Amino acid sequence: MKVINPYDNTEIGEIELVTIKSAFQKVERAKQAEVTMRALSSFQKSTILNQIVDGIKERFEEFVTTISNESGKPYIYAKGEVQRAIETFTIAAEECKRIPHESFDLDASAKGKGRRGEYRYFPVGVVFGISPFNFPLNLAVHKIAPAIAAGCPIVLKPSSKTPLTMELLNSVIAASDLPEGGFTVLHCTREVGNEIIQHPNINVLSFTGSPAIGWEMKAKAGKKKVILELGGNAAAIVCKDANYGLALDELTVGAFAYSGQVCIHTQRIYVHQELVDQFKKDFVSRAQQLTVGDPLAPSTNFCVMIDEQNAKRVESWVNEAAAAGAQVLLGGNREGAYYPPTILTNVPKDSKVRNEEVFGPVVIIESFNTLQEAIDEVNDSRWGLQASIFTDSIIQLNQAFDELEVGGVIHNLSTTFRVDEMPYGGVKDSGFGREGVKYAMMDYLEGKLLIR
């Protein structure tokens, strides 16, 4: 399989896709590593994870340019992704020392007199991780690092659009003291991946991608543990008392970072009616100031989408909304895989660009009168990953936290805010379970009780 640079359509590498037979052999090797991985001490796991950190640091620029080349991600964002991957492995190197356990008396019941209980967590087995193209390093690392910290072998299928980054990480991990079979990269088709999900030696499925595929995989997984991160349609609320300049700064980044190809991309912005007209003008002005260019140039902060097919999809959604009466304030003209920053208003509620995950550089700005109206608009969605609210009122913040139907409410920051130790995940069609090193580890562990 050829890997193409989305910026200039040049070939940058080639990856061999494995057959079902060879994929099953890789799963068998991971299964054989279970005993060795389970026996690793916290010190050994921490040492391995820190070795991986050192390896990424040594090849930092190589990781950055590989991500940028194969995904079209601007250098500044690729650099941030590599820094976050380092943080994720560093956090895992600490969290592996803090796997919970407890000891307790059982004499609250008459039968328990003189008895004690001990509750400990053990590795659940082989993890099958599937990661997407938009963060080809760190979203994979959010499956790999917790698995190693928990003592589980992991087989990782990266996106076929961005496989080279994972090959680079594979070479770094191979140089560490991780036992053979503890980490395996699997380049395969979706059909082969579906067979792996049902393999009896897979104990956990961790998938990041589209809801249609994710829920189908969960149905196929049977009794396996499943974690799904399935994207969103993130909304932000800008209240009358908001720090106006802060909201503009944060939401410009939230709307257009990596051409909107982020699960928590700011897709909808609801602005108080007394601010909305000025906000639209200022937001258009900010979007026009984005620097478009070569993704490897440090000054570039906006670039192409992952491929022309996705750019055409975004174009069709915007055109559909415009034909139904939406006003295009900026953008809307595609050139190949490049789709410009696009801002819409007065968008009909039945439009795809309003209801689905656009996964592109498109944002909708609408007005509201009361906070309850804004909350109802945000909740009028099958998605529920993250939402933002810009306000200086603790009363309004608490109301939003209580009533917004999302996995995370972000105060005075973009919807795209994420640090790698926080519990991250959604409700409704946005997912099932939580990522974040400590929280992911709990899905890779199983409790066992001892009565003495």
Cβ neighbourhood burial of 63 (10 Å; 0-12, 13-18, 19+): buried
Q: Which residues pair with 362 in a beta bridge?
A: 342
> What type of residue is 405?
E
Q: Which of 70, 81, 95, 229 is catalytic?
A: 229
DSSP 367: E
- 270, 276, 281, 282 alpha-carbon torsion, rounded to 10°: -70
Is 263 designated active site?
yes
Angle of helix 20-32 relative to helix 190-197, nearest 10 degrees, comes to 40
Q: Which residues contact 115 (CB under 8 A, 6 or more apart)?
A: 105, 106, 107, 451, 452
Provide the 8-state DSSP code for 112: G
Compute the distance between CA of residue 211 and CA of residue 429 in angstroms, rounded to an integer: 6
Instruction: Let me know if 229 is a catalytic residue.
Output: yes
DSSP string, 263-328: TT-EEEEEEETTTHHHHHHHHHHHHHT--BS-TTSTT--B---S-HHHHHHHHHHHHHHHHTT-EE
Task: Assess contact for 178 and 172: CB atoms under 8 A.
Answer: no
Q: Which of 152, 188, 263, 303 is catalytic?
A: 263
User: What amino acid positions are annotated as catalytic residues?
Assistant: 229, 263
